Structure 1
Amino acid sequence: MFRRTFWFTSGVAAGVWATTKVNRKLKQLTPESLAAAAANKAVEAGHRLKDRAVGFALDVRANMAQREAELEDALGLHADPELPPARRHAAIENRNKPKSYVIDRTTHTHNRNEDH
């Protein structure tokens, strides 16, 4: 009698366990779940790529500063410690452009909602 009860209980437990496992796997294979998993992996890959790009940019800046210091030493261009550091100027836009590149916003409206 105890053997039958033991095996019956073991069979029920194994059936519940297997049913639960199969249902979880089926939920993981639904289109919504697969799309969410793919989106999560894409976001993670984007974060890894961003971190690598930031690290690369920092390495480039550090090496650029080191190379500038080497060139200043080689050319004898040592800055006076009492003076403020030299300013870095942004690129100046080309003021010699022909007038054909200038767009007058008052006469050229580009409304995408207009019927053409």
Structure 2
Amino acid sequence: MRKTMLAALIVTAASVLTVPAFAQSAAASAKVEAGANTAAAQDAAGKTVDQTAAMTSKVADKTVATTEKTADKTAATADKATSSTEHAAHKAGKHASHKAKAATDAKVEAGAQTGG
């Protein structure tokens, strides 16, 4: 009976010490690996979010700059058109007054020649 009890105790002790030790080691290793994978995935996701935010900011800045440049060009074109219109109106007014003065001078000269 002692040998049977001793054999049962040895078998039980061996199975208790070996099986759970391997099972715990594998479970702990799986947890560590899963934790490392999760951390790496979170880090990659964080970098992706940062890159996306940086790119969005860069595109927004470029869009604002392009919009401002376009607005400046449009304003300059409008100013140039207004200036050209004013210049043409001024020139036409001067031309008309010169023509009127020339016509008046011609009448005065014609009257002076016939009258004098």
TM-score class, shorter:
0.3 to 0.5
Q: Which has the higher contact order (CA 8 A, sep 6+)?
A: 1
* Structure richer in helix, relative to its length: 2
**TM-score (norm. length: structure 1):** 0.41
